[in-house]
Structure 1
Amino acid sequence: MKREKVWLAVAGLVIDKDGNWLVVKKKYGGLKGMWSLPAGFVDEGETVDEAVLREVKEETGLTTTVNGIIGVRTGVIGNEISDNMIIFHLNHIDSDKIKIEKSELFDVQWKSPNALMVDGKTSVMIHEMLKQGDLFQRHQAIEGLNPGEQFGYTSYKLFM
């Protein structure tokens, strides 16, 4: 899909019962070889929460559920491209096993926050997230709303 000059992406923070973070090491892009959160672009016809569940499943094999939005990363590339990412906190189903998407990733691991902080191959975004106090002031989805037939939404959610 052509993204033009406004990009919308999602990332998922998944934390296991021991406090380890699910991180991926991409084979491409600006984060090539760096630990980052599973992430990707929103496709046509899907909401941001659907996109993050799909991306995490595609990259890691894990089935997750949305716990809430924990942040937004936004920037402009080359004074031209609006690059925006919504960061979700996700819960995972314990019975799932990690399956690495080998065409996109070098590795997928559960890593402790301390290990991520001292690893020189950890993304700036993860370092900043780890420095924050309470990341988990979640904004939960309110579903079943209809803002009016005049808009023509086929899916509509409000995170508050």
Structure 2
Amino acid sequence: MKRIAARIWHRIGGRLQWRLLWLANPKFMVGVTGVVRDADGSVLLLRHRMWREARPWGLPTGYAKKGETFQETVVREVREETGLEVRVGELVRLTSGYRLRAEVAYEARLTGGTLRVAPLEILEARWFAPGDLPEGLQESHRPLIEREAGPGRNA
């Protein structure tokens, strides 16, 4: 039976194979976060309008779009939410298991732009020293921020 299934699989061709695989497997959204640091090592935090009032502060975050790399998502989200430009560096987190969402986080370094928040999504944007983070910070973002960005880890 396995041999027959394998022969059929090989004969149906790539396009139909991919369609069958797509139908048979779960679909995931990918949340992408940027740990944006300036030249002094301060981190960019945003007070998000749509997040819970008790935990409104967090890193620039958004969902990857179809055909976009995760690094491109970081650049786009930071630009859309703050007007700032960044260079994406090291992958610092890759997790799954939260319903139908995978989460990815990258270090990123400020390279330019003028800080202006997108008022539909963001109430406020500020730079914080890693040791002086605001109340109401997303707990999952704290270890990303406090992580030591040593040699070879800089964005």
Same fold per superposition (TM over 0.5): yes
User: CA separation in 1, counterparts of 2:40 and 2:149?
Assistant: 17
The answer to whether the 8 Å contact 2:45/2:126 transfers is: yes
User: CA separation in 2, counterparts of 1:50 and 1:129?
Assistant: 19
Q: Residues 47-78 of structure 1: CA distance to partner in whole angstroms, max 9, x if unpaired?
A: 111111101110010111112211124332xx
The answer to whether the 8 Å contact 1:13/1:21 transfers is: yes
Q: Give the alignment's TM-score, normalised by structure 2.
A: 0.71
* Larger Rg, first or second structure (1 or 2): 2
Question: Corresponding residue for 1:67?
Answer: 89
Match of 1:16 among 13, 26, 38: 38
Q: 1:84 to 1:137 in 2, by over 3 A?
A: farther
Q: Residues 87-146 of structure 1: CA distance to partner in whole angstroms, max 9, x if unpaired?
A: 01112224x211101000111111111221xx32111022223454557765x9xxxxxx
The answer to whether the 8 Å contact 1:14/1:91 transfers is: yes
Aligned-residue Cα RMSD (Å) equals: 2.5
Letter in 1 for 2:60: P
User: CA separation in 1, counterparts of 2:71 and 2:45?
Assistant: 19
Q: Give the alignment's TM-score, normalised by structure 1.
A: 0.69
Question: Is 1:110–2:132 an aligned residue pair?
Answer: no
Q: 1:42 to 1:32 in 2, by over 3 A?
A: farther
The answer to whether the 8 Å contact 1:27/1:105 transfers is: yes
User: CA separation in 2, counterparts of 1:67 and 1:130?
Assistant: 14
Aligned to 1:23, what secondary structure does the other structure show?
Answer: strand
Identity %: 25
Q: 1:54 to 1:136 in 2, by over 3 A?
A: farther
Q: 1:103 to 1:32 in 2, by over 3 A?
A: farther
Question: Corresponding residue for 1:90?
Answer: 108
Unaligned runs of 5+ in 2: 1-25
Q: Residues 24-59 of structure 1: CA distance to partner in whole angstroms, max 9, x if unpaired?
A: 111114577521110100011211111111011100
After TM superposition, which residue ranges in structure 1, 4 or more long, deviate above 6 angstroms?
A: none
Unaligned runs of 5+ in 1: 141-160
